[in-house]
Chain A
Amino acid sequence: QQPVQSPQAVILREGEDAVINCSSSKALYSVHWYRQKHGEAPVFLMILLKGGEQKGHEKISASFNEKKQQSSLYLTASQLSYSGTYFCGTDTDSWGKLQFGAGTQVVVTP
């Protein structure tokens, strides 16, 4: 089942912070985060694995609450380049078969 992302959209001024949430109805093996700009392919941001391991870009931070079956992505001191649609993908059976949320559109303004 598709994970639920919130909020659907957020508008930020440069330098402001935001949190994007991803919630699953099933137990999670891993959560993947990607950013997609209009008409382009998604770009990898971070993976959070059951047990606490994280792999990703240094400037991106995220959390994974296994008990609550939730993950959050933190956009800190946002830059114009952070604009795009953010997707979480969840793996519930450890086979790398991801189900993606509907996305959170982020607009960063000067």
Chain B
Amino acid sequence: AQSVTQLGSHVSVSEGALVLLRCNYSSSVPPYLFWYVQYPNQGLQLLLKYTSAATLVKGINGFEAEFKKSETSFHLTKPSAHMSDAAEYFCAVSPQAGAGSYQLTFGKGTKLSVIP
């Protein structure tokens, strides 16, 4: 079984400040980990993914995340927030391989607000 916990349903940062969105996972098998972004009334867009290669993963729009197995974490960061980063962010996990490997389990999401 897999689960994802996102700490903080709502995070506010000032424009230009560091963005840190937290994600912890639970998985009985080695996982793949993902961060998705959702803008209002739209589907999900993949920001980045961890697939057992480098533990520090760089994604689009300046975001990156680090897989820490010892902490079962996959926190999302961006050095400097931009107004366009305001959106809902979802962390997700899937099994690495085998039946159901495509199935994603999502966290509850974190809404990021950027204050001018």
Do A and B make up one complex?
no
The chain A residues found within 8 Å of chain B, CB to CB, are none
